[in-house]
Amino acid sequence: MSSRERVLGRVRRALADVPPDEEPIARDYLREHGRRSTEETVELLAENLADYRAIVHRCTDGQLPELLMRLLAAHGSGSVVVPPELPAYWLEGVDATRVQDRAAITPRELDRVDSVVTGCAVAVAETGTIVLDGSPDQGRRRITLVPDHHVCVVRVPDQVVSSVPQALARLDPTRPSTWISGPSATSDIELDRVEGVHGPRTLEVVLVEG
């Protein structure tokens, strides 16, 4: 018997006396705090992203390729990880080696890559969080955890919601999700902040309109 089977067996035994027709758990809590317009929701997202030390950029869809080219050049990126279905035109002006996301890629290989560019599943304004769910424009979770520099493109307003409950309603619970609030960071007992411990040291979020 595997560890998984043992744990599930304990859960089943603990629930053995729970009636199958028990009332469902009430989920009538607030769906968001306050009422905001679409523009105010996007502004709140940008503000909270910046509070978490993400670098926020704004552009139109037509300006996106040039902006990504400038961001990667400014970071000195000679290589960039590319999810399998990242729109090709996003990186059309980028002069860097493309590293394709593939099952066989190792953490050691990823550690030698300078940057990664992805889309996102949804962005949460109230918490300044971007959520990835492994969709083809985002790739495997590992490609956003190992490279030191992550550029994430968020389409506004389509991919922006106010709250976590609203974000959960958009996500497929069977897919793995990664919730990112700013660059990876930790603090020691004296509250000295160190970034880049469990993921990218630099997170840049591009809010794209149109």
Q: Assign domain 37-209 one CATH number from 3.40.50.11440, 3.20.20.70, 2.40.110.10, 3.40.50.10420.
A: 3.40.50.10420
pLDDT tens per residue, range 32-78: 888 899 999 999 999 999 999 999 999 999 999 999 999 999 999 99
Please report where in the chains the tokens 């599943």 appear, as a residue. Answer: 121
Q: Provide the token pair at 164.
A: 């976590």
pTM of the predicted model as reported, rounded to 2 decimal places: 0.83
Q: Which of 89, 173, 90, 87 is nearest to 131 (CA)?
A: 173
Would you kindly state where each structural domain of the chain is located, as residue ranges?
Answer: 37-209
pLDDT tens per residue, range 70-99: 999 999 999 999 999 999 999 998 999 999
